[in-house]
A and B are shown apart, each in its own frame.
Chain A
Amino acid sequence: MRVKVLGTRPAPNTIRDIFSRVVRVHTPVITVQRREIPYWQERGWIREGNCFTGMYQTPHASFHGWIEEKLFGHLEFRLYNPSREIRNHSHWVCFAPRGEEWYMVHMARRPKDVSSGILTIERLISEAFE
Chain B
Amino acid sequence: MKRLSIVVAGTGQIRDLEIQPGTSAADILHQLNLADYLLSRGPNEPFFASSESVYDKVKDGEKLFASTKAEVGLLVCA
Contact = CB atoms under 8 A, between A and B. Distances in A.
Interface of B: 5, 7, 9-14, 36, 40, 43-44, 46, 65, 67-78
Interface stretch (A7-15, A21-29, A44-52, A89-97): A89-97
Q: Which of A42, A117, A123 has the most CB atoms of chain B within a 10 A radius of its CB? A: A123
A41 interface: yes
A88 interface: no
B43 A106 contact: no
A115 to B, nearest CB: 4
21 contacts: A36-B11, A36-B13, A38-B10, A39-B10, A90-B77, A91-B72, A91-B77, A94-B73, A106-B72, A106-B77, A107-B71, A108-B74, A108-B75, A112-B36, A115-B9, A116-B70, A118-B43, A119-B65, A120-B71, A122-B43, A124-B72
Interface of B is mostly: loop
Contacts of B11: 36, 38
A58 interface: yes
Interface residues of A, number: 36
A119 B68 CA distance: 10
B72 A120 contact: yes
A35 B5 CA distance: 12
Nearest to B13: A36
A116 B44 contact: no
B11 to A, nearest CB: 6
B73 A115 contact: no
A126 B40 CA distance: 14
